[in-house]
Structure 1
Amino acid sequence: MMIKLNPLFMKYWLREIEGKQAHDPIFMEKMKSLSSRCLYVPGPVIVGAGPSGLATAACLKEKGVPSLILERSNCIASLWQLKTYDRLRLHLPKQFCELPLMGFPTDFPTYPSKQQFVDYLEAYARKFDIEPKFNETVSQAEYDGTLGFWRVRSIGVKGEAMEYVCRWLVVATGENAEALMPEVEGMGKFGGEIRHTSSYKSGEEFRGKRVLVVGCGNSGMEVCLDLCNHNAKPSLVVRDSVHVLPQEMLGISTFGLSMWLLKWMPLRLVDLFLLIVSRLILGDTARLGLARPKLGPLELKNLSGKTPVLDVGTLAKIKSGDIEVRPSIKSLKRHAVEFSNGKTENFDAIILATGYKSNVPSWLKEKEMFSEKDGYPRRPFPNGWKGECGLYAVGFTKRGLLGTSMDAMKIAQDIQCCWNEEAMHLLHQSSPL
């Protein structure tokens, strides 16, 4: 459904076209190149209907600015709904995962389930009357300096093309747009199933099988635990050092306690406290094959974005031998894996808990704000949310939903200022066309 256009902005748009028609032949060539299926959007176009896109749209609506969300999938929060495992819960307490302007229901548990979080997001969209255009895959977005607008091209499920013209573009595709699949020697020889965690739902289908999980982040650790609970036989590849912290300390969430301590203590002292308490609660994780990095968990998170693992029971399974830790993979063979220590073991399946990556460079034709290498804003948090010519980014802070909410509010405030300035300008230039 096409959005209803603001007459004031349509008047401004038509006046700009008339002025350029009279003085700019290059502009006329640009106008001829516009698709026949072209829609002018008076407010921002937001690419992505995950939590980042929804939060930005809600903040804009609260300030009286309309927006249009384009989403390649058929639902909001497609990563959560379609590409996460069944046992997933929020790793942080709900108060740190709220989107702006609406909290979680009071009867939700401290760590909401996957379905509860999806229910919250759907209620959020209903409250703010957010209706994304689904099944619209953005193939290209670029700023047209002659027009002074962004041109966003999308493709529908049946291959139909559409073009949107707008003053502001918000990139909300986030850090987890595409599954990150590593290249492993011999992948074609393995013969067994190899899948990414984005395709993993439950350990039920692996009951009784030997499964190698590659990656020791929160997803890898939790998938291993889920496999154990379904009587599979998992092993965990630990390629790098990793901080494992208890989910709660002293009856308080570890994250919440860290945020409180940072108000009173320097970061390195808080890191020292976390490591001491973790040692008392979890023991020496290095003895289990989980060596800790030299930098503390919070310092490492700030510098690299690498999130510490919050243990929800996996360490106990490692200690009991139900989960075995293995070094990095050297190569794959027929239903077997050769590790870097020279040992070879047989496995029925491999699950890659190797994370996700940004897909921004594949469709955004812009080189100043976003890095072509990793698809993240070049400027680190908290300055990566705004670019030039009305370009914004939300959901790239490496600080979860808390960072998303912060950026969404800043973006809405910034766009509102421009919106109000243009409205005032039009009121002073309101002579008939």
Structure 2
Amino acid sequence: MENMFRLMGSEDFSDRRRSIWVNGPVIIGAGPSGLATAACLRDEGVPFVVLERAECIASLWQKRTYDRLKLHLPKKVCQLPKMPFPEDYPEYPTKRQFIDYLESYATRFNINPQFNECVQSARYDKTSGLWRIKTSSSSATSVSEMEYICRWLVVATGENAERVVPEIDGLTTEFNGEVIHSCEYKSGEKYRGKSVLVVGCGNSGMEVSLDLANHDANPSMVVRSSVHVLPREVLGKSSFEISMMLMKWLPLWLVDKLLLILAWLILGNLIKYGLKRPKMGPMELKVVTGKTPVLDIGAMEKIRSGQVDIVPGIKRFSRNHVELVDGQILDLDAVVLATGYRSNVPSWLQESDMFSKNGFPKSPFPNAWKGKSGLYAAGFTRKGMAGASADAVNIAKDIGNVWREETKRVQKIRTRVGHRRCISIA
């Protein structure tokens, strides 16, 4: 690659340890956040290297999502910087359409990640003022190690890098049925006629339950805590767009009150189905905790009709059934853990100023994108693609400004040296 050269080691790729100097930032993660940052850096004329542990871009979308998935928000708030979605795409693009968009995006901005590079550690060397990123990659015959050295490090591994698997009494030791995380779920076709417990009532839990019901399975969904459910659209207009528009003119508490009135008019009283709303309004909850309200795309109809049962928390699993906290016992064939994801940053980034132990930046939005010593974060705003795009633009401009100033300084030095040589020769 034109933007990096070898410091140590030979051209023999059998070497176990090589060090590479990157003439620009290293971006860790080739998901939407990493791609957006790379595209903005390309536009600023700054070289970069993208490291990705999988063998493809957007591995979460390509490998860990179910078949029927669509974007829950309108395409115009999910597009990445400098390239809108194709005009013929629907308002809510499908999983395949979104992946095609991301692949076209990478091609357009000439983004070629280093695939199968799993970051083991990243630390800032105070002596040299540089970041040192150690990676490992494996093939059928060997395991190689690499160290990338750079001035700037962009963490773009995202909010959903690792799945969360809760410890539930008896689930792994006694239950005989199938247990999968929602990232492994593809379709309800194989569960036709079977009793499936979906653990979790977020957007994934609701959509998996809906898909199971559509395939004539018998899903039950565990709802342990309160949850906000909003219609995805109101009179053809996105609930998200309505809330964003209202927040420009009205206080947050009033926006929440109006959203809940609309939700009650469209979805009805959810309490009688076992769905309690939090005391804090949906938008306030999003701002304070980052917890996104569920956008209904059909699950509520299945709940009202009884095709999806709402059940309380789990007490324990045994061979072929589950005992709930209210004493109910359900016979089960399978369990889908729609229990979400978490950041994995603390497992490899050796830094404590910018990131908290939960893997998120300590500073709140909109100041979470920049740390110290050339460290940046893209896609940790809990504001979806729009937040990731804003991060990418800010990061690229910040690095680009330094890059241009230093380029000018080097050019001036070269000009002076050349001028002195001319005088000496004369």
TM-score (norm 2): 0.93
The aligned amino acid for 2:321 is A
Identify which of 73, 76, 98 aligns with 1:117.
Answer: 98
| RMSD of aligned Cα (Å) | 1.4
1:62 has 2:43 as partner: yes
The aligned amino acid for 2:146 is M
1:355 has 2:355 as partner: no
SS in 1 for 2:362: coil
1:404 alignment partner in structure 2: 388
SS in 1 for 2:381: coil
Listed one character per residue, the Cα deviations across residues 222-251 of structure 1 (whole Å, up to 9, x for unaligned) are: 000000111100000001100000010122
1:4 alignment partner in structure 2: 2
Listed one character per residue, the Cα deviations across residues 162-198 of structure 1 (whole Å, up to 9, x for unaligned) are: 1110000000000000000011011210111111001
1:78 alignment partner in structure 2: 59
2:282 alignment partner in structure 1: 297
The aligned amino acid for 1:103 is P
> What is the deviation of 1:5?
3.6
> What is the deviation of 1:335?
1.3
Measure, in 1, the Cα distance between the counterparts of 2:238 and 2:296. Answer: 12
Identify which of 291, 313, 334 aligns with 2:298.
Answer: 313
2:111 alignment partner in structure 1: 130
Identify which of 66, 84, 105 aligns with 1:103.
Answer: 84
Measure, in 2, the Cα distance between the counterparts of 1:300 and 1:250. Answer: 24
SS in 1 for 2:138: coil
Measure, in 1, the Cα distance between the counterparts of 2:17 and 2:333. Answer: 53
Measure, in 2, the Cα distance between the counterparts of 1:425 and 1:361. Answer: 37
SS in 2 for 1:301: helix
Show structure 1 runs of 4+ deviating over 3 A: 428-432
> What is the deviation of 1:343?
1.6
Measure, in 2, the Cα distance between the counterparts of 1:5 and 1:51. Answer: 22
The aligned amino acid for 1:283 is G
2:213 alignment partner in structure 1: 228
> What is the deviation of 1:51?
0.1
1:329 alignment partner in structure 2: 314
1:214 alignment partner in structure 2: 199
1:426 has 2:426 as partner: no
Measure, in 2, the Cα distance between the counterparts of 1:391 and 1:427. Answer: 26
Listed one character per residue, the Cα deviations across residues 73-129 of structure 1 (whole Å, up to 9, x for unaligned) are: 010000000000000000000001010000000000000000000000001001101
Measure, in 1, the Cα distance between the counterparts of 2:70 and 2:125. Answer: 43
> What is the deviation of 1:334?
1.0
CA contact (8 A) 2:3 2:48 kept: no
1:203 has 2:203 as partner: no
Q: Which runs of 5+ in 2 are unaligned?
A: 8-15, 419-426
1:193 has 2:174 as partner: no
Listed one character per residue, the Cα deviations across residues 362-382 of structure 1 (whole Å, up to 9, x for unaligned) are: 11111111112x111111111
Measure, in 1, the Cα distance between the counterparts of 2:202 and 2:332. Answer: 21
Between the aligned residues of both structures, percent identity stands at: 58
CA contact (8 A) 2:66 2:187 kept: yes
SS in 2 for 1:274: helix
Count of residues in correspondence between the two structures: 404
Listed one character per residue, the Cα deviations across residues 325-349 of structure 1 (whole Å, up to 9, x for unaligned) are: 0001111111111111122111110
> What is the deviation of 1:265?
1.2
Identify which of 18, 33, 48 aligns with 1:52.
Answer: 33
Measure, in 1, the Cα distance between the counterparts of 2:339 and 2:3. Answer: 44
1:152 has 2:137 as partner: no
Which residues in structure 2 correspond to 1:243-392 (within 5 Å)? 243-372=228-357, 374-392=358-376
CA contact (8 A) 2:121 2:349 kept: yes
TM-score (norm 1): 0.91
Measure, in 2, the Cα distance between the counterparts of 1:153 and 1:418. Answer: 25
> What is the deviation of 1:261?
1.2
The aligned amino acid for 1:166 is C
Listed one character per residue, the Cα deviations across residues 18-68 of structure 1 (whole Å, up to 9, x for unaligned) are: xxxxxxxxxxxxxxxxx9511100110000000000000000000100111
1:20 alignment partner in structure 2: none
Measure, in 2, the Cα distance between the counterparts of 1:243 and 1:211. Answer: 23
Q: 1:214 to 1:66 in 2, by over 3 A?
A: same
Measure, in 1, the Cα distance between the counterparts of 2:257 and 2:17. Answer: 62
2:13 alignment partner in structure 1: none
The aligned amino acid for 2:156 is A
The aligned amino acid for 2:218 is K
Measure, in 2, the Cα distance between the counterparts of 1:375 and 1:185. Answer: 27
Identify which of 398, 413, 429 aligns with 2:397.
Answer: 413
2:12 alignment partner in structure 1: none
SS in 2 for 1:115: helix
